[in-house]
Structure 1
């Protein structure tokens, strides 16, 4: 049966589950509120005693979202929110009753962190499209958290400039918030109509209440937005801001000390009401988090998280279709030096310098999202030494390169979209060029009960020759009610390669999958919620056709009414696996025996001072002595509302696993090995107040591999005894990192960071090294000790122009004073709490 025959064969089976649709109700009617314009702005201090609040309209009658979906909020927790607006932005004053205000939970965290806290948040959608909103949260401790929410997916890397203050009083607590128009995208119209929802978390009982009711049985959070009326004749201010920085580094490595000074700037410019330009000039990523490095023995590279702010903030358009893996920009060079006889590489760079980068993104009135990303990287050379003459030379391993992404994303209906994405990499000279293009459909019916997805991508790579590959897929899902089902088909051809600007690992497969899930929609018995799901996955190699795998998987999770979380699952491959990737040679495969894999986990109540997470995972293969056991223990202890400790210990013990080792005279050598991995990390956070924090992070990774036998792979996937290969492949790898960071948010959007780092790693061709010798080897390796200081300052054009504007313009003076007043009050939360 060929590929297209299989696709047609599957379609009837995908449709079977959707007969369970049943009768459904329409979306809950949207709440509405009309708000007035004011002329005198309130002081943002958490006290609603300004005159403008006295007769303001009130959003009230909050409804429980979870766990008891749809239940009215009790009178003891009555929540009222007053809303007004002026020429600068929109104001919220939330009064939240609490019968025991001295027990309000208010743990301090760093910005964009929520701990054991009561909180209040505002969800604003300037285009009222029910798909993308901005989220503004303030905790009872006065900490700000903001994010972009797109179809239920939250991107907390976005940081807005807004103002808030809180007060705890005899009746409960108050949150006062001001959101400038510069932070909200909205159409250029005289009369605005925005989407709005608001939510309160009452942490002691872990209940959540929303202003506009939400039906948990179907659809995403954002489709239940209410609406704001009354905002008229407002304009977005000039959206131009600068964030200049200076940084200094003192790095000591292997006895050599180097001092580095940097300076640069980030720029944001609102091209119009909808589109924003973000640009980074003279980048400096020296204080980005270390990668959690591992000893990788697999057929694919390790995929690390992005830790550079410019590449994480505001990238929701660019991540459509997973064609963009931002670590490619400034990552490893694309070429390897050509070595002559008696030459060796003295230094091969691990990264490429970024010259600059920019992104333009936004959305039109017709809900068309447009995104453009561009970055340019510097020429990079490897140092090569002649072992006989000791002469050195340089060879270009990465030329001047341009990385580009173009995205079109058309939204329609309440929760549907069609998207086009193109990425390309152009390198100067005869180096490798690449292009990838994708088309994506995500369609949800009007009742938000059925979802349909489809995608197709093509990749073109030009090096010595040009190769073309493609992938695609389609699926359907029932997304409402207790019973949920879905089915998908996905394929990827052998030549598919997006690794110049994306990440692709497995290729040359067709994959059929089916899912059935059951969940509680309301608390029942001793449980707050229950989720069960069953999955079937069938995989074949495309070229040439070959059975690859059949997987059955079951997952479960439960939460009790005392908020003890637990669950587990089971997976099995009853027919074994033909692994086409581990041999590292096209057309080859190795047979892997069938396995069963049970696991279990639990998590205690995070409201308690001591909370513990435990995970146990066990693979047992149908082969004597072969298996893997993983155990993870993660306690955290809250010493006080300012100080928290985290520990994470993970042990992975793998016996008699079989993996690729080497190629010898066209024979593929495998090895039978035991591997033991121990990962320990410790983090301590001390939060002085809502703008100052001290953070200590430590991680030690240890992995040892010992080979007991070498084998030769046959054409039929079997492994036979080897009589020739006897090179030692035993290894021990250590990675050690310490970060001690002091952060001070001394003004809105402005930050000082003082960072000390200690890092080292070691690799030796031996195993079963005792603990003392292992650490002796590690500490004998060259160490990096780094002390760095980085100061960035946020400058908004509208404030700066008032510094130098005409002094006789009353409006400018009034706005300047108003901004300064908000500036001072935005960070007065700590003193307010002490009143």
Structure 2
């Protein structure tokens, strides 16, 4: 078997595939407006000023049938003046009455639309994207990594109007040059692509042909010529805001901090300053980071932290520059949600004391300097300062304070340099977290944390092949207690009794670690794709003060091979298949995981799609399963998945996502099902419902660690763990600038534990040799205290005890948001948010627990009004 996988790993490197055809770059020549006239942006394209340029056209289909004539042609014109660049687009259509003009909020791409992509840096990797739907809805995204990443959080100021006429439909677009980034050359060339979606046929056509086997998106653009004497725009935008918030909740008798309602009035200002035309400085003072949609409910029984997406505007804008992902998808040297986090300390109080702890740490101010220069330097520097936070303590009416989060400074610096005609880059990153005057009660926090790395990527043969890599280093400093606590976390597990390569050193006051990755692959040119690579994370690597890292002590080698069709095949618009294989080891040389899987996906001619696959895990050891105990063997596992979607263009559409996994000897099972129903009764209204059900039965779910005869005892048990939830969304669009959105999610997670046991031989081949059941007489539950009492040796003396781990958590979260963009870039938000969180009786069924945990309960209500005014000078 090992020889087979070795052969599969090296096979792609030996396959000779003909490079993709080199396609000539199209050129469009624009002209400047000389006499001061400007087109009226009304969608009509009837201003005489448009006559100073010729039409660009000859669009070619890119999907589903690449390099064929589209059903209907599209043409465009581009002109500019000292402040703006203008686009006129005509989308021909022989049946204007059939054009689909669905409404939606900003960045909703539904119905017929046209899109303009501008690579004004002309670095062949990044672009600014502007989309106008036939209904007048605007979409804008910042494109990076040659089209791999599209960031819709970028919200520039620009204008568009559309019309439907006898020839089809038209769009006029007006983009301020201040919203783009370009150099100061007297004559410039920008990358350009214009894309159209013909909705009825689900067809995409483009001005510059891009083959479906192209290695990227931006690198394949055509060119925009004729840009002369553009004046660098000294951008200055100021956005003050004010927030009024009223919170109501159920009054808690005796607790002076929970009197039934809280009121808060807050204000601040954001600013964007163009230091040069391609580098900007973003500033925020006393920012408000209230989210209009709450994080989804989730529960983690493995003890690891849960990764949530960033939604706060200051951090999501230009986030691609600061991105430094490595190893797994969520691992990143910069995880901005560490800034403004919930205070990490909590006062030690007695039963007659009440505590009011802030929900988040106040961000006093933040600054971000970012952009890309003419010479190919990408620069990103971010500085943020968070305040001291105190918890207020009430003791029989007497008030005191205790520090729960110290004054903290966060810094990130990122630099990349393009060279070799933008086919290669090298870069680096440094981060720093510094906490000041950390008191004894917070001595578990690091005083200083630093990380950094170097990365590179080289591409050749028309960018079809690449070699990339990175290195990482980290160092944390703190008290002995802080560094010992770090060594004992699930991320590191130095306390494992069976680990010969790590041990807890309680005298240390610092910890330093490394990581790295090297990867070679093929991403374009023909039907074949492949990747061969390896990464490592040393046991001492620690970045969680400002980054996100789930677990260290890993070396992994991986291979992927994929086939992608480039044209329609029989009944398929497109079809693909892939094979993935990896081996994972710890730094002692133990092989902890081997996994291989096969998958296939495709889209039928009727636009239904599927993704199906399965795999096998013959070797699976978990170093964190016993949460500090020895390495534990999980039984061999087989898994399958199936995902299906009906035609996403239909007003009524469905989706289904199924995952099933089962381990040998019934060790554990994973069953997850997510359904989706979306109904759009009119162009302005859409309703979606996404129920989810999951079940995770397990014979050795970790419960606790205790002591027996002076030795550690690791208690596990069978668990029947189920979750049930549903996401409900309603979007109503009055016009492209005024929308009403509702989001709600009821959620219940229930776990029932039984057949308690203790681990005897954690790496035994047979499942039932890994643990010993606690029989009747050895274990008894005291129902008045909820404790399990264990007399393991049956000598009549209590050996140890532990709490009943059964649980049933019910939550309900919802948001009703009215958003009005009353002038371009300035918004009014009216938000009503509700939240319920209760622990219910685990003996109840899922539906009963969900019903009793939500209905009849008094929710926490938040009423919020946020007003922003964006002033561009």
TM-score (norm 2): 0.86
Q: 1:29 aligns with which of 6, 24, 28?
A: 24
Counterpart Cα distance in 1 of 2:185 and 2:235: 18
2:390 is equivalent to residue 396 of structure 1: no
Structure 2 residues without counterparts, runs of 5 or longer: 252-259, 326-331, 439-444, 480-508, 764-769, 779-789, 791-800
* 2:100 counterpart residue number: 105
* 1:408 counterpart residue number: 415
2:581 is equivalent to residue 536 of structure 1: yes
Counterpart Cα distance in 2 of 1:287 and 1:541: 39
* 1:417 counterpart residue number: 425
* 1:325 counterpart residue number: 335
**Aligned CA-pair RMSD:** 2.2
Instruction: Give the C-alpha shift of residue 780 in structure 1.
Output: 6.4
| Correspondences of 1:268-667 after superposition (within 5 Å) | 268-321=272-325, 322-335=332-345, 337=347, 339=348, 346-383=355-392, 393-412=400-419, 413-430=421-438, 431-432=445-446, 433-464=448-479, 465-480=509-524, 481-542=526-587, 544-575=588-619, 577-585=620-628, 588-624=630-666, 626-665=668-707, 666-667=712-713
Counterpart Cα distance in 1 of 2:871 and 2:213: 45
* 2:737 counterpart residue number: 691
- Indicate the SS of the match to 1:317: helix
CA contact (8 A) 1:14 1:475 kept: no
- Indicate the SS of the match to 2:852: helix
Could you report, residue by residue, the CA deviation over 1:447-500 in whole angstroms, capped at 9, with x for unpaired residues?
Answer: 222111111101111112100111111111122221222111111111111101
Deviates more, 1:440-449 or 1:129-138: 440-449
Instruction: Give the C-alpha shift of residue 143 in structure 1.
Output: 0.5
Instruction: Give the C-alpha shift of residue 708 in structure 1.
Output: 0.8
Could you report, residue by residue, the CA deviation over 1:321-380 in whole angstroms, capped at 9, with x for unpaired residues?
Answer: 32111110011334455x488897734544211111111101111111010011111111
* 1:745 counterpart residue number: 821
- Indicate the SS of the match to 2:569: coil
- Indicate the SS of the match to 1:733: strand
Q: 2:751 aligns with which of 700, 705, 718?
A: 705
Instruction: Give the C-alpha shift of residue 768 in structure 1.
Output: 3.0
| Correspondences of 1:758-797 after superposition (within 5 Å) | 758-764=834-840, 766-769=842-845, 771-772=847-848, 775-778=851-854, 783-797=859-873
- Indicate the SS of the match to 2:314: helix
CA contact (8 A) 1:590 1:713 kept: no
* 1:802 counterpart residue number: none
Counterpart Cα distance in 1 of 2:127 and 2:6: 35
Counterpart Cα distance in 1 of 2:415 and 2:718: 49
Instruction: Give the C-alpha shift of residue 779 in structure 1.
Output: 5.3
| TM-aligned CA distance change 1:709 to 1:602, over 3 Å | same
Highest RCO, 1 vs 2 (Cα 8 Å, sep ≥ 6): 1
* 1:832 counterpart residue number: none
| Correspondences of 1:106-121 after superposition (within 5 Å) | 106-115=101-110, 117-121=111-115
* 1:251 counterpart residue number: 247
| Correspondences of 1:150-229 after superposition (within 5 Å) | 150=144, 151-152=146-147, 153-229=149-225
Instruction: Give the C-alpha shift of residue 155 in structure 1.
Output: 0.7
- Indicate the SS of the match to 1:639: strand
Counterpart Cα distance in 2 of 1:404 and 1:193: 35
2:234 is equivalent to residue 238 of structure 1: yes
Could you report, residue by residue, the CA deviation over 1:385-412 in whole angstroms, capped at 9, with x for unpaired residues?
Answer: 77xx897643322100001100001123
CA contact (8 A) 2:750 2:846 kept: no
| TM-aligned CA distance change 1:601 to 1:16, over 3 Å | closer
CA contact (8 A) 2:841 2:849 kept: no
| TM-aligned CA distance change 1:547 to 1:770, over 3 Å | closer
Counterpart Cα distance in 2 of 1:524 and 1:345: 68
Instruction: Give the C-alpha shift of residue 420 in structure 1.
Output: 0.4
Counterpart Cα distance in 2 of 1:582 and 1:381: 36
* 1:137 counterpart residue number: 131
CA contact (8 A) 2:678 2:688 kept: yes
- Indicate the SS of the match to 1:131: coil
Deviates more, 1:442-451 or 1:40-49: 442-451
Instruction: Give the C-alpha shift of residue 106 in structure 1.
Output: 1.1
Counterpart Cα distance in 2 of 1:623 and 1:344: 51
* 1:801 counterpart residue number: none
Instruction: Give the C-alpha shift of residue 25 in structure 1.
Output: 4.1
| TM-aligned CA distance change 1:539 to 1:160, over 3 Å | same
Could you report, residue by residue, the CA deviation over 1:213-236 in whole angstroms, capped at 9, with x for unpaired residues?
Answer: 112213101111111111111212
| TM-aligned CA distance change 1:607 to 1:55, over 3 Å | same
2:180 is equivalent to residue 128 of structure 1: no
Instruction: Give the C-alpha shift of residue 287 in structure 1.
Output: 4.2
| TM-aligned CA distance change 1:552 to 1:11, over 3 Å | closer
* 1:96 counterpart residue number: 91
Counterpart Cα distance in 2 of 1:284 and 1:352: 12
CA contact (8 A) 1:14 1:476 kept: no
Instruction: Give the C-alpha shift of residue 642 in structure 1.
Output: 0.4
Structure 1 residues without counterparts, runs of 5 or longer: 1-5, 798-835
| TM-aligned CA distance change 1:676 to 1:92, over 3 Å | same
* 1:817 counterpart residue number: none
2:270 is equivalent to residue 266 of structure 1: yes
Counterpart Cα distance in 2 of 1:748 and 1:133: 22
CA contact (8 A) 1:569 1:598 kept: yes
CA contact (8 A) 2:62 2:205 kept: yes
* 1:826 counterpart residue number: none
* 1:43 counterpart residue number: 40
Counterpart Cα distance in 2 of 1:424 and 1:365: 28
Instruction: Give the C-alpha shift of residue 381 in structure 1.
Output: 2.5
2:92 is equivalent to residue 84 of structure 1: no
Could you report, residue by residue, the CA deviation over 1:129-167 in whole angstroms, capped at 9, with x for unpaired residues?
Answer: 111110011001100000111111111110111111111
Counterpart Cα distance in 2 of 1:163 and 1:474: 44
Instruction: Give the C-alpha shift of residue 289 in structure 1.
Output: 1.9
Instruction: Give the C-alpha shift of residue 719 in structure 1.
Output: 2.6
Could you report, residue by residue, the CA deviation over 1:616-656 in whole angstroms, capped at 9, with x for unpaired residues?
Answer: 21111112373122121101001100011000000002223
- Indicate the SS of the match to 1:230: strand
Counterpart Cα distance in 1 of 2:8 and 2:659: 32
CA contact (8 A) 1:517 1:531 kept: yes
Q: 1:721 aligns with which of 759, 766, 773?
A: 773
Deviates more, 1:19-28 or 1:306-315: 19-28
* 2:785 counterpart residue number: none
